[in-house]
Chain A
Amino acid sequence: MQQTSTRSPTSQVRPEAFGYDQARHLLWRAGFGGTPEQVQTLVSWGPTKAVDYLLDAEKVDFREARADEFNSSIMRPPTMEEQAAIRRARQTQDENALAQVRLEQQRRQRDDRRQAREVQRWWLARMIETPRPLEEKMTLFWHGHFATSYRTIEDSYHMFQQNRMFRAHALGNYGDLMFRIIRDPAMLAYLDNNDSRRDRPNENLARELMELFSLGVGNYTERDIKEGARALTGYTFRDDEFYFDQGNHDTGAKQILGVSGNLDGDGFVRAILARPACSRFMCRKLYAFFAAEPPDSDRELTRDASGVLREMASDMLRSRYAVKPVLRRLFLSEHFYSPEVMGQHIKSPTELVVGAVRSLLTPARDLSILLDAMDLMGQSLLFPPSVAGWAGGRAWINTSTLFVRQNILAYLLTGKRPQGYDPLADEQKYDPAPLLSGLDESARTDPSRVIDYLLRFTVGSAPTHARATLEQFVASHGGRVSNDMITGLLLIITAMPEYQLT
């Protein structure tokens, strides 16, 4: 008897099964949600064209993230003259001169913290404005994957440079990013590789490179870490540029992950990329970010999830670590639109905030207030909590963050500032009328049609009790659907527990 092959290709989503709910789902996952009009456009295109449009971000015109967007010299190293002056002051115990140096240092740190805030605002605005949402979404993915925090490195320009690199390669090649990350000043400082010495290798970068960035625990040995750390000696930076410090590099023979030779950092990365565990690990991470949190053990995966993951990994290997074919496989799989995936993702604070502005068409209002709220919700851009990035999923939610989530939506919808800010209401009035463009003219005044429409657009579906509550609310105001009424309905809907999901 012939056995059913477990390697049969997983099914692709059928064009006729790609409707409003599926297009809306795709826009939220591969971007930050969309307006009813955008959802309808993707429906009319069908799944293949829709997915390719999102993937081929470079074909959509958008302003470049320029290197001179921010000041690169705030935290520049001291010049020779400045160094000499500091030395002199130390030798002569010139307290006044030393106090000057200290003050100057403090001034720069203050300026730099201010600039870090500017970079956050800049990125948030870009996520809100971009016509290439998947590019920014992947930039956010890489930021959480190769997590580096300003809090430790205290150099805003290095954070910005890293962010530009993630964006430039957002939908490019993961292997390229691995070669670049071991040359990235922010990462080198964050994981102390600039302190690594030939005779005293620092193992931090070597360990995380395998544990968190590529292979996962269990796929390397302590010896691989030690040898990897030797391979990475001499990888440091000067000012804003990578610098290979030949004198500090250990040129001796090494054996890493079964590869022998006088390996340097590139040799180490090549040894990693040659392991089959690498593509499996990366595809699990992409799957967790875009689809659903997979169970800890592969054995507990459902058949469909397991099949899609396997195909993603084989696409990744076949394309030598290109990202696009892997995401294409996921976004076009039938599994991606199954109940196992749809509506099961807890929005990250970034997705919640950016997604609300983009899909509900609210004014963006004060970006500083949005950033503060994101911080309170547990996601401060450029400040991931550790090298492991953000845990995501249920870790986002507790009783405090849930109120912040509801309240920032109330702010976006009404402009009423949270307490602690200038109490003057934001003057930009939210106009919800364009949201109803997908509804027949005649239905726009029918409360139950409007409620159905809004629920479907925001939370997909809703329990009947919620619908009844909303209908009662409209009825208690005379049953008239005005713009204020729509805003009121959205205030309640965005406070629903289900609104946190997508």
Chain B
Amino acid sequence: MPLPDPAAFTRRQFLHSGLVMASAAATLPAFLQRSAFGLPMPALGMSSIPGVPEDHILVVLQLSGGNDGLNTVVPFGEDEYYRRRQGIAVTQQQALRLDARANGIGLHPALAPLKEMYDEGLAAIVQGVGYPNPNRSHFKSMDIWHTADTSGTGDGWIGRYYDSQCCGFGKGESGTPEQTQTNPQPGIAIGRTAPLAMQGRRLQPVAFETPNLFRWTGQDVHESLHEPYRAITTAGVPDGADANSQASFLMRTALDAQVSSDLIRRAVAQRPLVQYPGSGLARNLAMIASMIRAGLKTRVYYCDLGGFDTHAGQGGANGQHANLLRTFAEAVRAFYADLKAQENDKRVMTMVFSEFGRRVGQNASGGTDHGTAAPMFVLGPMVRAGLHGEHPSMRDLDDGDLKFRTDFRQVYATVLERWMGAPSKEILEGTYRTLNLVRA
């Protein structure tokens, strides 16, 4: 019988012996330190043209798991808040007071770095953001936020932005790709996979957890593999070959992958200009800042911070949820300090969201269950700092849940229209009233 027999497979599985080639890996010089790639690079620190929409960058930060909005932007003026959250409420003394306009509303004390940004005019808070008929499944609600569609199906909203804007480049001269890049630079997601939000039709996003994975690892086996690998993957499409064939498509993509890998890995090898905290989120934002500094043409970056599904023992001013908020606030504070030192801060807007907030009342496990509306943050020197929208009512509830005041797609529409210079109606497939979040 010619086809594999299962016993043979099992035998192969247990064939043990040492590896020869793989053992050389540890002694190899880092890929990044090699210089003989022969591929042109754009100059690092390439000039930016502030104020030109083509230079505007959006960073999307996702707080995964459902961030407890009421313990983030705290309605400390409401008795009802304290009545329903006896074990986990942030006290009036602990809450960080915002300003005179923010009557009875404050920030969780772990958000002190964010409060500093707020005071410096770098933070807009949109209160009570949600959508009609809220879905309390993590997956489904995340899909809804990612697709900007209450059915949670279809392409991602950022993917549709790329589709509508010719691959993420604005119109006009400064939006054309560098000659060194065979294709425009797609959006970059820091993570194992690119989020649904970035899935479009014309240009696939790049995703990597660490830049060390965004490269061929075969060369770690033996250094002499490096040059032949370069040769076969960067050959491009041979003259006379059918440019539309599958092989040509693959050869072009292989070349793009090499160019992107080199650019990105070279970019993030720079030391950040400021000291970042030690968290994973801080590391990821530092990578994004480095890519911006290196002059990548990428217009949208995506990263996330997980762990917000605080069903049990979430704590109040201290504890599990407080730690998450601190991680978040310290990381974005350092990110903007870095961007400012690069003089790129005015080009970079950061939008922060979570798939839902949590229920008003705490549960029997000292935590909170999946709920509805929650605040969003929009950060950067271009924002109209302050509180936007209304805090959801603590009394007019929908089966124990907050009613949303602002549709999240209004925030998307604002970011698209007022920051990215893109038509929100076409991209969001609907008309959403923009908010006054961005300074003229």
Contacts and interface: CB of A to CB of B under 8 A. Distances in A.
Contact of B250 (A34, A38, A41, A497): A497
B402 to A, nearest CB: 21
B2 A129 contact: no
A122 B241 CA distance: 42
A407 interface: yes
A35 B3 CA distance: 8
A14 B428 CA distance: 55
Interface in A338-380: 343-346, 358, 361, 363-364, 375-376
Interface string B1-22: 1111110010011111111111
A129 B4 CA distance: 7
A414 B209 contact: no
A361 B15 CA distance: 12
Contact of A406 (B9, B216, B247, B364): B216
Interface residues of B, number: 70
Interface string A408-442: 01110011101110000101110100000000000
Nearest to B10: A129
A151 B139 CA distance: 8
A500 interface: yes
A358 B9 CA distance: 9
A96 interface: yes
A400 interface: yes
Interface residues of A, number: 80
A494 B196 CA distance: 29
Interface in B221-275: 221-222, 224-225, 227-229, 231-233, 235, 238, 245-247, 249-251, 253-254, 256-257, 260-261
A487 interface: yes
A415 B218 CA distance: 11
Nearest to B249: A394
Interface in B203-217: 204-210, 212-217
Residue picked from B4, B192, B311, most chain A C-beta under 10 Å:
B4
Nearest to A346: B246
B355 interface: no
A498 B220 CA distance: 22
B279 interface: no
B228 A473 contact: yes
Contact of A495 (B194, B214, B233): B233
B221 A400 contact: no
B15 A431 contact: yes
Interface string B344-382: 000000000000000000011100010000000000000
A95 B364 CA distance: 6
A32 to B, nearest CB: 10
Contacts of B5: 131
A375 B207 CA distance: 13
B174 interface: no
Which applies to chain A's interface (DSSP): helix, strand, loop or mixed? helix
Contacts of B204: 398-401
A403 B9 contact: no
Given A429-B15, A477-B224, A397 B250 contact: yes
Contacts of B254: 402, 497
Contact of B17 (A345, A358, A427): A427
Given A431-B15, A495-B218, A501-B247, A398 B253 contact: yes
B216 A495 contact: yes
A472 interface: yes
B9 A128 contact: yes
Given A386-B153, A410-B216, A131 B1 contact: yes
Contacts of B25: 416
Contacts of B260: 399
B193 interface: yes
Interface stretch (A158-166, A239-247, A296-304, A461-469): A461-469
Contacts of A492: 218, 225, 228-229, 232
A346 B217 contact: no
B234 to A, nearest CB: 10
Given A402-B254, A416-B220, A376 B17 contact: no
Nearest to A42: B2
Given A128-B9, A407-B218, A497-B247, A429 B213 contact: no
A84 interface: no
Interface in B6-48: 6, 9, 12-23, 25
A419 B212 contact: yes
B358 to A, nearest CB: 14
Interface in B359-415: 363-365, 369
Contact of B15 (A129, A420, A428): A428
A133 to B, nearest CB: 7
A490 to B, nearest CB: 10
A110 to B, nearest CB: 13
Interface in A474-502: 476-477, 484, 487-488, 491-492, 495-498, 500-501
A477 B311 CA distance: 60
Nearest to A401: B204
B364 A470 contact: no
Interface string A118-144: 000000000011111100000000000
A1 interface: no
Contacts of A398: 186, 204-206, 253
A80 interface: no
A99 B363 contact: yes
Given A400-B208, A418-B213, A498-B247, A363 B235 contact: no
Given A418-B217, A428-B16, 19 more contacts: A31-B3, A63-B6, A103-B365, A129-B6, A131-B3, A358-B4, A363-B13, A375-B193, A398-B204, A400-B206, A403-B216, A410-B216, A427-B18, A429-B17, A488-B225, A492-B228, A495-B229, A500-B250, A501-B250
Interface of B: 1-6, 9, 12-23, 25, 139, 153, 186, 192-194, 204-210, 212-218, 220-222, 224-225, 227-229, 231-233, 235, 238, 245-247, 249-251, 253-254, 256-257, 260-261, 311, 363-365, 369
14 contacts: A95-B363, A99-B365, A102-B363, A133-B3, A343-B247, A364-B12, A400-B207, A401-B204, A428-B13, A429-B19, A463-B235, A488-B221, A495-B218, A501-B250
Closest 10 CB pairs of A and B: A398-B204, A41-B2, A497-B250, A95-B364, A399-B257, A410-B218, A99-B364, A129-B6, A429-B17, A131-B3
